[in-house]
Amino acid sequence: MSKTFDVIILGGGPAGYVCAIRSAQLGLQTAVIEREKLGGVCVNVGCIPSKALLHAAHVAHLVQHEAADLGITTGPVTLDYGVAMKRSRQVAEQNSKGVEFLMKKHKVTVIRGTGVLQTGRKIAVDKDVYVASKAVVIATGSRVKGVPQIGLDINKTTVISTDEALFLERAPTSVAIVGAGAVGMEFADIFNAFGSKVTLIEVLPRILPLEDADASATLARSYKKRGITVRAGVKVTGAKVAKTEVTLEVESNGKTESVTVEKVLMAAGRALNVEHNGFEAAGVKLTDRGFIQVDANLRTTADGVYAIGDVAGPPMLAHKGSREGVFVAEHIAGHTPHPIRYDNIPSVTYCHPEVASIGLTEEACKEQKLDYQVGKFPLTANGRARAANETDGFVKIIRDTKYSEILGAHIVAAHASEMIHELAVARENEYTVEEIELAVHAHPTLSEAIAEAALDSLGRVMHT
Amino acid sequence: MITKVVMEALSPTMEEGRIAQWLKHEGDAVKSGDVLAEVETDKAIMELPARSDGILRKILVGDGATTAVGNLVAVIADADEDISGVVGNGGEKGEKGEEGEEGQTVAAPAAPAASAASAGGEAEGGRIKASPLARRMAGEQGVDLRRVDGSGPGGRIVKRDIAAAAAASAALPVGGAEGWEDVPLTQLRKTIARRLTQSLAPVPHFFLTSIVDMERAAEAREALNALGGEKISFNDIVAKTVAMALRQHRACNAWWQESTIRYFHDVHLGIAVAVDDGLITPVIRHADRKSLREIAIETRALAERARARKLAPEEYTGATFSLSNLGMFGIDAFTAVINPPEAGILAIGAITPTPVAHEGAVQVRRRMHLTMSCDHRVIDGATGARFLQTVRQMLEHPLALVW
């Protein structure tokens, strides 16, 4: 059987399915090929279920550590990770069904199976061949990976990835998390709240190594206060994997020690899904780093084949992939899409407190020898944060000295993920800190701290 | 259905038409065959008919404006149809400059490509679309937003546009290394280039003439020559003036290079010299940084070597702009042919005592015709005109030369 579509998208994750919706909106006959569940890693084993668990973790924290101060007396509290996990599965299922509904609503054909790219914009799925008359879009995404070089291959029992962590029936007694980026930070938060003894290990000198150093420091303090062992600048040099436990050898400052835990969660890097899909044979070249090589319009080296999402390069974020999906759909339809500003993609870690940022860190400004001013406002001086007992954190805005351009913004706050978009909109439209400050901010809100940080960068802070 | 109304060739030789008057107005229902507008062609007033039924949604070239055959002048569509793809947001880049911010009609400038080249961020009489950061940078760097092409959404002027504009008009580094900047052609520029090349191949010339009052320049020359030493000619004064004016008008100090326009940071002035069997154009390098006397000496030496056929190749190549003077032959005014890839040449006519109205009385004053030939792919009407205006002002106030 052979069937022709205008656009065929390989992969139904946040990049692929959004691309499909936009293509369909633009009147293109569109198909998505998905081998697992629609929504991809994000919806099924990533963003969404982990946020459900983080919500559970937050409630666990409130009930145990805050309720009494608020006059709420609870009986003995028991924590059951399995129940929270099951709820997170329901949320994920709902979202995946939601994507299925969206595909139907927009008349996108969903083809189940593994697609193999062939030359001439053809894709084989089992014995069927589908032809894309206009374009093929690769959106195959990425997957978890271990570090076999140091004996930490994912065995799914004692050495696990998020794929397993999201399905555990109970929280491990003790867990070492290798990698303190967003994923490692979030699971440290979750397991800690559910009673695990957590050791967070990061090879770089600080946790959240890609965020501003002030954010890393605040989170390190907050985590230590909660009893999480934070080990930054520490290298895992070896591992003894037994049936029910793992002993890690870690090295810092030339000293080697061992850490024994029930489980190790690997949260350092992801592998790209670029093998077994016929890409190379079809003329799709990879970069040195293993991403699919694309031009400014996200076209690969194969005629009529685009790549979006994780496979197309960093940052490997759902919202970056989705935007690329829209961009590519519009490009295929012959429009001139708004160029993607890769320097203006928000980065968010949903631990407590949350960390959200956009643009340059202060370190990067220094490295680039930019002439900048920093404005910073602590949440301890924010009424809303005090009312909600969420005073851990700050808003930091870095502006260019001469023109007040917003070079970067860093927020650590209970709702940083929701607050960052004020700055995303501002930067996308080239507002300066002055336009931020001139807009009236409602009182009392955490967002007032953004206006105050803007003022502070101009030397006019009011409430500290 | 959206129907584009274009300036039709209403006579066999018509290349552009002037909208004498729109007979239908925006919002009017029109039927195929209805007369939309009266158009003045090279020969007569003709009628521009509608080619489809619908609502005249948008008039892009107003009464009195002129546009080339084939250019979009209006849009007919259904009442609620989205025509932004045709009239806005880069739909028809060539017509961009004729649209206002909210799409209000503005009169197109006289020449078709000049209209197309007016800045994208600008709506004459309308709001300039620019980001707050771009506005701030423009203010600090003295960039006129009305002259900046916006590359942001909907033609909005953004940071990178100001950076580019500022770089293009940056002050020349004195004593700096040779420099230039290859500016990639914008869509607009490509369109202008293609259109004009098709109509006036191979180099689309246009000409601008200005009559300059040379009384004060003549006085200055007499005074300088009274000091002795190398005699200063009128040609030398014009050369020095043009070189200095080019510093202020880099848009005219450029080469057309098909895929890019090279804007020079230095002025190398070609001066056409008649030789026995033709003409050669020796080059005064860095003419803008040389004194009048240096230019006089060097011009004389180069001209002599030219006539003796002794110029080295580097002495007659690399000009960024040229001068041609036939004044000594009693030619009042003429048009010179551009020497590609240069984008302009200035033709200097004779200085002739002429009775003119001056300060309320008829006086006999020495006057000179300057005619600039421009490559329209590089220089637009207003751009060339502004340059020529500067030249004239400097010649009429020769003290400007010592700035």
Contact status, residue A210 vs residue A184, Cβ threshold 8 Å: no
Mean pLDDT score, B26-53: 81
A contact test, residue of B82, B86, B133 with most A CBs within 10 A? B133
A148-268 is a CATH 3.90.1210.10 domain: no
- Please indicate if any CB of chain A lies within 8 Å of the CB of B90: yes
Enumerate the H helices of A120-181 as residue ranges.
162-165
Q: How much is the pLDDT for A445?
A: 98
Token reading at B67: 């546009």
Q: How much is the pLDDT for B197?
A: 58
Amino acid letter for position A205: P
Q: Which helix (H) or strand (E) holds A174?
A: strand A174-178
CB distance B153–A338 less than 8 Å? yes
Token reading at B39: 């158009």
Q: B249, B265, B268, B376: which one is catalytic?
A: B376
Q: What burial letters (b/e) apply to A243-259, b meaning 16+ CB within 10 Å? A: eebbebbbeeeeeeeeb
Domain range summary for chain B, segments of one domain joined by +: 3-110, 119-170, 193-402
Give catalytic status of residue A443 as yes or no.
yes
> How far, in whole angstroms, is CA A43 from its chain's centroid?
12
Evaluate whether A2-143+271-342 and A148-268 have a shared fold: yes
Residues A381 and A283: their CA atoms lie apart, in Å, by: 57
CA atoms lying within 13 Å on the CB side of residue B126: 20
Which DSSP symbol is given to A381? G
Who among A336, A338, A405 is closest to B133 (CB)? A405
Q: How much is the pLDDT for B115?
A: 32
Domain range B119-170, CATH architecture = Irregular (4.10)
Q: Given the DSSP bridges, would you call strands A229-232 and A235-241 parallel, antiparallel or unpaired?
A: unpaired
With contacts defined as CB-CB under 8 Å, which chain B residues touch A336?
90
pTM beyond 0.90: the answer is no
Q: Which helix (H) or strand (E) holds A136?
A: strand A128-138
Amino acid letter for position A279: F
**A353-457 topology per CATH:** Enolase-like; domain 1 (3.30.390)
Q: What is the mean pLDDT of chain B?
A: 79
Residues B355 and B349: their CA atoms lie apart, in Å, by: 17
Question: Bridge-partner residues for B180, per DSSP?
Answer: B264
Token reading at A194: 């559910």
Q: Which of B398, B400, B403 is nearest to B223 (CA)?
A: B398
Contact status, residue B220 vs residue B398, Cβ threshold 8 Å: yes
Question: Bridge-partner residues for A374, per DSSP?
Answer: A398
Quick: pLDDT tens for B50-93: 888 888 988 888 887 888 888 888 888 888 888 877 775 433 33
Residues B60 and B87: their CA atoms lie apart, in Å, by: 8
B3-110 is a CATH 3.30.565.10 domain: no
Grouping H, G, I as helix, E, B as strand and the rest as coil, residue B29 is strand
Quick: pLDDT tens for A280-316: 999 999 999 999 999 999 999 999 999 999 999 999 9
Residues B285 and B290: their CA atoms lie apart, in Å, by: 9
Grouping H, G, I as helix, E, B as strand and the rest as coil, residue A309 is helix
Q: Which of A421, A364, A373 is nearest to A397 (CA)?
A: A373
Quick: pLDDT tens for B97-110: 333 333 333 333 33
CA distances from A241 to A150, A179, A245, A263, A321 (A): 11, 18, 7, 10, 36
- Give me the DSSP letters along B165-215: HHHHTPPPPTTPPP-EEEEEPPHHHHHHHHHHHHHH-SS-EEEEEEEEE-H
User: What ipTM was reported for this prediction?
Assistant: 0.76
Domain range summary for chain A, segments of one domain joined by +: 2-143+271-342, 148-268, 353-457
Which DSSP symbol is given to B313? G
- Please indicate if any CB of chain A lies within 8 Å of the CB of B133: yes
- Please name the residue of chain B whose CA is at the shortest distance from the CA of residue A432: B133
Residue B355 has a CB neighbour count (10 Å cut-off) of 10
CATH superfamily of B193-402: Chloramphenicol acetyltransferase-like domain (3.30.559.10)
Question: Bridge-partner residues for A158, per DSSP?
Answer: none
Q: What is the mean pLDDT of chain A?
A: 96
Banded model confidence at residue A131, pLDDT cuts 50, 70, 90: very high
Amino acid letter for position B14: M
Contact status, residue B215 vs residue B365, Cβ threshold 8 Å: yes
CATH pick for A2-143+271-342 out of 3.30.390.50, 2.40.50.100, 3.50.50.60, 3.40.50.300 = 3.50.50.60
Query: Would residue A369 be called left, alpha or beta, if left means φ above 0 and alpha means ψ between -120 and 50 degrees?
Result: left
CB distance B136–A429 less than 8 Å? no
